[in-house]
Amino acid sequence: LELLEDSGCELVPFSPLHDEKLPEGISGLILGGGYPELYAGGLSQNESMRRDIRHMVKEGLPCLAECGGFMYLHKEMEGADGNRYPMADVIHGKVSRTPRLVRFGYIELIARGEGKLLKEGETIRGHEFHYFDSTDNGTGCTAVKPGRQRSWECMHTEGNLFAGFPHIHYHSNPSFAHRFVCCCTEWTRKG
């Protein structure tokens, strides 16, 4: 977040649980990690926020979503109570609890195509730590475990969206953060 601030971003906090809509005049959206399954009922009940996020991301608002934020963007998510709840429906998959940690550890993401934030073949590092999985993890990047042969497809990289389970380490590719700021600037000019 400090790298984004150093690149010219003003971070504006908001609550998808308590606020009715996104803050006025924002130029981008960051949905960080956390444990949305613990708040699934409240997140689901805040229909106006879910609707606003769905509308703004589909309109092209630049959006970074990691792990818990990625889970929130799905059509449906299983809560910690075992019930299923409607979420923001930006990603048309479903998120469910798994019996163990899924794809745990450090990774390097390799862009599988030309995107707004990563160019084809470009890399950025991150890590995964989650007990949930999605029916639609995306195919925009290949995640590779360091020093190992294990890899898998992940990340939604369509348009101005960069969303998936990995927590991204922006300092491993500062151009990624710079490009996000550029996308936000373009959004502001467009609006």
pTM given for the model: 0.94
Cα R_g (the chain), whole angstroms: 16
* Cβ proximity of 96 and 78 under 8 Å: yes
Distance CA 54, CA 116 (A): 19
CA nearest to 41, candidates 82, 96, 85: 85
Neighbours of 62 (CB within 10 A): 26
Distance CA 112, CA 102 (A): 22
Q: Is 67 a catalytic residue?
A: yes
For tokens 């380490």, what's the residue? 169
Distance CA 71, CA 56 (A): 17
Distance CA 61, CA 39 (A): 25
Q: Of all residues in the chain, what percent are helix, strand and coil, respectively (each to 5)?
A: 30, 35, 40
Spell out the per-residue pLDDT of the chain, length 191, in tens: 888 888 888 999 999 999 999 999 999 999 998 899 999 999 999 999 999 999 999 999 999 999 999 999 999 999 999 999 999 999 999 999 998 877 788 999 999 988 999 999 999 999 988 788 999 999 999 999 987 778 999 999 999 999 999 999 999 999 999 999 999 999 988 86
Candidate list 9, 63, 67, 154, residue with the active-site label: 67
Distance CA 163, CA 108 (A): 15
Strand order in the sheet with 161-164: 29-31, 63-66, 161-164
For tokens 């990995």, what's the residue? 166
Two tokens, residue 150: 């294990």
